[in-house]
A and B are shown apart, each in its own frame.
Chain A
Amino acid sequence: MPLSSAPDESARAFTMEWISIKDFTLPAGTIQTTFKTRFLSFLKSARDAKSMDDALKPESLESLPPYLLERLAPAPNWKDEALSLDEKLLPWCESPGNNFVLILNMPCSGNAEVLHFWASEHGYRIIDPPKANELLKPDDKWFAQFENSNPLWVLPALEQCWLRHEAGLWLVRQFFRRLLSGQLGPGILGCSSWAWAFFRHALGVSAPISLTVRPFDAQKLESWFRALAFEKYRRQIYFRQADNGSLVLSGGAKKDETADQKQEQSPFLKDLAAFCYGIPGVAAAYWRASLQAEPDAARPEKTGEDAAPGQSTIWVKPWISVERPGLPKVMKRHHAFILHNLLLHNALDMDTLSKLLPKSHHLFDQCLYDLSDNGLVAFSEDQWQVTPKGYPVVRGFLKTEGFLSDDFR
């Protein structure tokens, strides 16, 4: 049965909207900012001096204190979006016409988490990835999980089921052989967009049906940030751009169209959406980093549930002044190899990562710490991963250097 494309009333309540890969288009930024951003980043790399970010930064403002940040811009809770997949997937689940549906996950998009929660909600069998040390041995014990997985299985992160190592392709080759021949039964396959690009080129696989989240454009970001900000907070707050006072987000939980029309609108969210490739996790990280308040307002006077900022305006840094991670001053091949491998596998522990690289361990450590110092990668839960704020920079770099990137253009 084909996937349903008719909009469902219940699905409209979700922030995430699932679309076919064919319908994917990246949000566009404003021409002025795109040019200005590129020119500034060029100047920054060329002069290696203080960037214009500092010149534009209003000195009188301070970052939001953590309690206020958590209230006004909490980290995304992907669990709330789990049922957004119902509209597209439930009709297919009732009568699966193909072996599998592919859910393509851009890094930091939260898609894998949403798929995981969705499978839990509906009680489908979730397939755990093998441990890293099991990936280099040809052993088909892992496939036992697929047995008795009626009516279907869900594998949220295929990128964790292989390694870019001469012995690390065996399992994923076996997986695709069994999947395409129908031996595994119907299932829903989540895969990182970078790993999928590799599989497409190296193994020649393709998916009959592939879905991803519609990229968040300025409008979507506005409604999402509004929902996050006013979920716990009922006061009237204005989010204004710090350098000119133009409106970024206004009012309370609902948008006041007539009031907003009278005020100058900031292009911040449009530029944010374009820079972040419409990826919600990346946009949220930059949003949190761009919020500021006046010193008095930022000081926590109350810490209870009803605590409020001293005044009703939160200042948003102009997009051009928002700090972005930079590339290390001296980029070696090793930096690129580390970044590419991290994106291909989403996250890797130190030992496994070292097995996928060609050079000495000493150089590898140094490069990894360089990248970490620049905020491009971070160590969390025993694994290295590209940071949400670092992803757009890393993607741009790898693409320019000629590495295989994902198919989202």
Chain B
Amino acid sequence: MSQTEKVSNVFSQLNEVTVTQILFILVAAIGLIIVSQKFFQWLSEKLSGRYKLYALASVPVLRMLIILLAVIMIIPRVVEPTFENLVAVLGAVGLALGFAFKDYISSLIAGVVTLYEIPYRVGDWIEVDGTYGEVRSINMRTLEIVTPDDTVVVIPHIKLWDRMFFNANDGSRNLQCAADFYLHPGHDGNRAKNILMDVALTSPFLKLENPVKVVAKEKIQGTVYRIRAYPVYPADQFEFITDLTLRGKSALLAAGIEFAYIPIQPIEKKA
């Protein structure tokens, strides 16, 4: 038996029926993915709280399942389903793709890894290579995040192998925010701390079940106070910090507490 015959024996005879079946499976899989994506997005808009996150998180998992099912259905139609044939074909395809699309395949594999390691989910706030934003979608090869400036950043999953991903809420609705206040060192520390605590407790954005902390540290510029607290909605983090900062500032000024500042020395002209 010639080499060509051996190779051709591995593959099934592709007739019109088989090709139609494969096309049908592909179209059905793509259709199902689109429909499921749209459905879960629509569902997430109708739901609120944690259910919204669950609905969004199930999109990539479902997509993966559909693709896997489609591949399982297509392979026996293309390859004679013996063990040797499968090993030979998958090995050859794997080798070829491995060289040609190393990074692409690596990203795809990382994409699969994210499905069970779950380092990020839709709705999480993550930082990768200095870019911070909310995960909008997780695709097979990439994830998309939206920055606070409303810019979409596409990040390949391959970065998962060698970069640090900072996840601010890790699938939950608990996202800690911090607001800093630089105060003049000559003030009553306890009073300042109590004022800032009340500022945090009375913010309408605050998630009251979570702890609220006010910590202080002495620095060259003055005493730095930091309010650490959680907003009800993670997406409100910037409004929350703004609210804490503005109300904290006005409460401290009303209490007669001065803010630290670095005096600017006028440059004396040489005579």
What residues make up the interface of A, taking CB atoms closer than 8 Å to B? 42, 45-46, 163-169, 198, 201-202, 333, 336-337, 340-341, 356-358, 397, 400-404
With most chain A CB atoms within 10 A of its CB, the pick from B49, B51, B198, B250 is B198
A46 and B46 form a contact (CB under 8 A): yes
B218 at the A interface (CB under 8 A): no
B46 and A42 form a contact (CB under 8 A): yes
Name which of B63-71, B110-118, B149-157, B232-240 contacts chain A: B232-240
Determine the chain B residues whose CB is within 8 A of the CB of A46 once the complex forms. 46
B173 and A358 form a contact (CB under 8 A): no
Residues of B225-259 contacting chain A, CB below 8 A: 232-233, 236, 239, 243, 247-248, 250-251, 254
Give B95 Cβ to nearest chain A Cβ, in Å: 49
Bound Cα distance from A340 to B204, whole angstroms: 8
Known: A333-B239, A402-B173. 8 other contacts (CB 8 A): A166-B250, A201-B209, A333-B205, A333-B233, A358-B239, A401-B48, A402-B233, A404-B209
A198-B208, A357-B204, A403-B232 known; A166+B247 contact, CB < 8 A: yes
Determine the chain A residues whose CB is within 8 A of the CB of B202 once the complex forms. 163-166, 168-169, 356
Bound Cα distance from A98 to B205, whole angstroms: 36
What residues make up the interface of B, taking CB atoms closer than 8 Å to A? 46, 48-49, 51, 173, 195, 198-199, 201-205, 207-209, 232-233, 236, 239, 243, 247-248, 250-251, 254
User: Nearest 10 pairs between A and B by C-beta?
Assistant: A404-B208, A337-B204, A166-B251, A202-B201, A166-B199, A400-B49, A164-B202, A201-B208, A358-B243, A402-B232
Determine the chain B residues whose CB is within 8 A of the CB of A356 once the complex forms. 202, 204
Bound Cα distance from A167 to B253, whole angstroms: 13
12 contacts between A and B (CB under 8 A): A164-B202, A166-B199, A166-B250, A167-B198, A169-B198, A198-B208, A336-B232, A337-B204, A337-B205, A356-B204, A400-B48, A402-B232
Give A285 Cβ to nearest chain B Cβ, in Å: 25
Determine the chain A residues whose CB is within 8 A of the CB of B46 once the complex forms. 42, 45-46
Determine the chain A residues whose CB is within 8 A of the CB of B243 once the complex forms. 358
Give A170 Cβ to nearest chain B Cβ, in Å: 8
